[in-house]
Amino acid sequence: GENVEQHPSTLSVQEGDSAVIKCTYSDSASNYFPWYKQELGKGPQLIIDIRSNVGEKKDQRIAVTLNKTAKHFSLHITETQPEDSAVYFCAPPGTGFQKLVFGTGTRLLVSP
């Protein structure tokens, strides 16, 4: 099955800095790569996703890059704001439709 590793586990930045979180997966057949944001007391919220035929996707301050050869994809947040503080999860699907395999999460803290 899919093995997912996520780094770092915690990340503290100053407001305005950039943040990068990396996710490594094992299943070379994976073709869908989402990132979720989870705020306290809430469910995960999809913030950006990418498919295997694309190397990079950007949505305002958030971007995802994919390296299929090395089997990793990364979340990039630029110009961070305090409201970006949350736990971020990568969750590529394992064997099965949307049978997500969540990484262990990265707690991002953005200080004003």
Partner 1 sequence: GEEVAQTPKHLVRGEGQKAKLYCAPIKGHSYVFWYQQVLKNEFKFLISFQNENVFDETGMPKERFSAKCLPNSPCSLEIQATKLEDSAVYFCASTDRNEKLFFGSGTQLSVL
Interacting residue ranges for partner 1, rule: CB under 8 A: 32, 34, 36, 41-46, 49, 87, 89, 91, 94, 96-102, 104-105
Distance CA 50, CA 46 (A): 11
Our CB check for partner 1 shows the closer of 57 and 78 to be 57
Q: How far is the CB of 16 from partner 1 (least distance, A)?
A: 27
φ/ψ of 92, rounded to 5, equals -70, 145
Q: To the nearest whole angstrom, how small is the minimum distance from the Cβ of residue 66 to partner 1?
A: 16
For partner 1, give the closer residue by CB, 14 or 97: 97
Sheet holding 86-90, edge to edge: 10-14, 106-111, 86-90, 32-38, 45-51
Least Cβ distance, residue 89 to partner 1 (angstroms): 7
Query: Quick check: helix, strand or coil at residue 82?
Result: helix
Q: How far is the CB of 37 from partner 1 (least distance, A)?
A: 11
Q: Which CA distances in Å does 1 have to 29, 64, 83, 93? A: 11, 23, 35, 10
Which lies closer to partner 1 via its Cβ, residue 63 or residue 87? 87
